[in-house]
Amino acid sequence: MPGLRLGPLLRYADGSCATVWVETSGPCTAEVRCADGSRGTARTFRIAGHHYALVPVGGLTPGTATEYEVLLDGASVWPPADSRFPPSVIATPTDDDGMRVAFGSCRWAAPPAGGKDSVGPDALDTLSARVAADPERARPDVLLLLGDQVYADEVSDATRHWLAGRRDLDRPPGDQIADYEEYTRLYYESWLDPEVRWLLSTVPSCMIFDDHDVIDDWNTSAAWLADMRATDWWQERLLSGLMSYWVYQQLGNLSPDELAADPLYAAVRETPDGTDALRAFAARADSDPASVRWSYRRDFGRTRLLMVDSRAARVLDEDRRTMLDPGEAAWLREQILEGRGDSDSDSDSDSNSAYDHLLIGTSLPWLLPHLVHDVEAWNAAMCGGERGERWARRGEWIRRGADLEHWAAFPSSFDALGDLIAEAGTGPGAPATVSVLSGDVHHAYVAEPSWAGRAPDARVAQLTCSPVHNSVPLSIRLGFRFGWSAPARALGRRIARHGRCAPPAVSWRRTGGPWFGNQIMTLTLRGRSARLRLEQARANRDGTNALRTITDRELA
């Protein structure tokens, strides 16, 4: 009989339907059967010797939470008979319930050695324990994982030992991930964690990649990419990374209607083995990034989420360098402005508003500490030839060494995003809040922008939360604390003048943080009000872990 290798993951969920992702040990029919009688089935598809199914569940009732089980060829495989967790449920909140959106990034999933976690308690593990203890009070409505779900370039000791058993680690890429099979190992290590496995089975999730899902500094520059393509291992690494991302993360981001219209999803399900079709798709995404869209939109009642690909959609040529290619930028603008002025909203909402809250998910922060921003803008000017060829070569070396590749390193894209946010937040159709949700930088903070001569009607904030579970070296703590300071801001202005950098189109100030630790942020959205809470995972004296509230404040 087939078994359940990984999952279930509750991915998409709205008022009437949901999708549940599983990996199985062999071909079979996967079924999700709910206590209220709703159900769904799907036949597994095969990729590189592994079997998966994304089960659509229809007939759900809005405003309810129904327990479910997973069956493979009619045999129940979830929940486990010896489970210490409450039953997994599919919850379908209504607009009146509001939304609790939890988010974070950068989860290194190495198991603790000898019972001691070298980087401190895992915030997702700790969140899971709290939800299990009181599901009705503590369960988020959706969990946003904003990048670095797995670390292909920084593996655990256990995975390194496993890699050594299948190939020579003295040959590139050494003790990093090389192919699809090795990527599956990373997902097993991350998602078989009992607490995280249960949490992902009962809280819907949305995901997007960042660099470590493939490699540190992925798509930093055209010169970086050329160097990588000159190696004999990069092509397999990249294709395997994109293939595994599509299977393990991207599929679940899509609604049942989007899945039904997806030709690749149809192709892999209609053939005995979908590996070749998926590999061809990944190769096309590599050779022509503009031909594939990893970004996506989710509407949760009157909250709109736009998850933006800020890695693979880049234009890297120095003379036209942008964070988003023209098609991606046009898509983002269309999704932000779509529906303005034709909403059938109730009396508690602006009558011209398509949504009350706009969430822009981008793994890389838009607003950084001022010194970091100015250094990245200066570096972009140097690499672009503003001070000549010698400075351009030096600038490329600095860019790679210091990871200078956030929105600030793409000045035209930084300004364009600011202009779009201001437009979205202004006028009779403006939402109450516009929040840019990010991670990557291994600390948390709140920054609020302002525009010269105009003030958006919406409350706009950069909300950054990282890491969920990773180290925060002293150098990062000191560097980012200094980066927000007044002396650092003055130093940044001098550096920007050397690069002949135009002032950014927006100014900003830090209104919270920086906070360091394994942490998770939660936005509670109800009507046109918004409340932000940051919690850190802390170890108690009795050996248990708990989430400690660091800040709890109103945004609107």
Tokens of 207: 């995901």
What would the pLDDT profile of 21-39 be if each residue is shown by its tens digit? 999 999 999 999 999 999 9
**Residue at token pair 């939800």:** 131
Question: What angle is formed at CA 546 by the lines to CA 545 and CA 547, rounded to 5 degrees?
Answer: 140
Radius of gyration of the chain (CA): 23
Q: So what's the pLDDT on residue 351?
A: 53
Q: Which residues pair with 104 in a beta bridge?
A: 145
Position 352 confidence tier, pLDDT thresholds 50, 70, 90:
low
Tokens of 498: 């050397």
Phi, psi of 324 (to 5 degrees): -120, 135
CA distance 108 to 479: 22
Q: Label the pairing between strands 142-145 and 99-104.
A: parallel
Mean pLDDT (the chain) is 94
3-state secondary structure 225-267: HHHHHCCCCHHHHHHHHHHHHHHHHHHHHCCHHHHHCCHHHHH
Q: So what's the pLDDT on residue 111?
A: 74
Is the pLDDT at 349 greater than 80? The verdict is no
Is the pLDDT at 113 greater than 80? The verdict is no
CA distance 184 to 161: 15
Is the pLDDT at 343 greater than 80? The verdict is no
Residue 23, class by beta-carbon neighbours within 10 Å (0-12 exposed, 13-18 middle, 19+ buried)? buried
Is the pLDDT at 348 greater than 60? The verdict is no
DSSP assignment of 196-230, as one string?
Answer: HHHHHHHS-EEE---GGGT-TTTT--HHHHHHHHT
Cβ atoms of 521 and 465 within 8 Å: the answer is yes
CA distance 316 to 91: 42
What would the pLDDT profile of 57-82 be if each residue is shown by its tens digit? 999 999 899 999 999 999 999 999 99
Reported as type and span, the H/E element at residue 401 is helix 389-402
Give me the amino acid identity at 128: S
Contacting residues for 428 by C-beta, under 8 A, at least 6 apart: 341, 350, 352
What would the pLDDT profile of 188-218 be if each residue is shown by its tens digit? 999 999 999 999 999 999 999 999 999 999 9
Q: To the nearest whole percent, how much of the chain has pLDDT over 70? A: 97
Reported as type and span, the H/E element at residue 33 is strand 29-34
Residue 225, class by beta-carbon neighbours within 10 Å (0-12 exposed, 13-18 middle, 19+ buried)? middle
CA distance 171 to 150: 22
User: What is the value of pTM for the model shown?
Assistant: 0.96
Mean pLDDT of 177-192: 97
What would the pLDDT profile of 114-152 be if each residue is shown by its tens digit? 667 889 999 999 999 999 999 888 899 999 999 999 999
DSSP state of 504: P
Mean pLDDT of 361-389: 97
Residue 2, class by beta-carbon neighbours within 10 Å (0-12 exposed, 13-18 middle, 19+ buried)? middle
CA distance 493 to 486: 11
Is the pLDDT at 8 greater than 50? The verdict is yes
Q: Label the pairing between strands 459-464 and 75-78.
A: unpaired
Q: So what's the pLDDT on residue 118?
A: 83
Q: So what's the pLDDT on residue 114?
A: 66
Tokens of 469: 């579970």
Q: So what's the pLDDT on residue 341?
A: 59
